[in-house]
Amino acid sequence: MLKIIIVLAFLLILASLASALYHLINSKDLEHSKKTAQALTFRIGLSLLLFIAVFIAFSTGLIQPHGIGANIQNAHLKKDK
């Protein structure tokens, strides 16, 4: 369930970027400039929330690293023994 929420958050971030790009291209008046700023502000806020959520999920053990991050962690544990 957590992975689905993370993927949905990434999709919302991409949609916000697309919206900001659309309003930036069509910025003929102040209204489009405000919409561009609002879309980018929403993206920044959502990105921060996603980062905090992933950090908390990693810290509490809800998600486990795999790949490069797991190899670094395992190498560090073997070194201490």
Residue 54: count of CB within 10 angstroms of its CB: 15
| pLDDT at position 65 | 75
Phi (first) and psi of residue 62, to 5 degrees: -70, -30
| pLDDT at position 10 | 93
- What's the pTM value of the predicted model, to 2 decimals? 0.71
| pLDDT at position 3 | 85
Rounded to an integer, the average pLDDT of 23-44 is 86
How far is residue 22 CA from its own chain's centroid?
Answer: 21
Tell me the residue range of the domain where 10 lies. Answer: 2-80
Q: What is the mean pLDDT of the chain?
A: 84
What does DSSP assign to residue 62? S
Q: What is the rounded CA–CA span in Å between residue 45 and residue 38?
A: 11
Domain count, the chain: 1
Assess whether pLDDT exceeds 60 at residue 43: yes
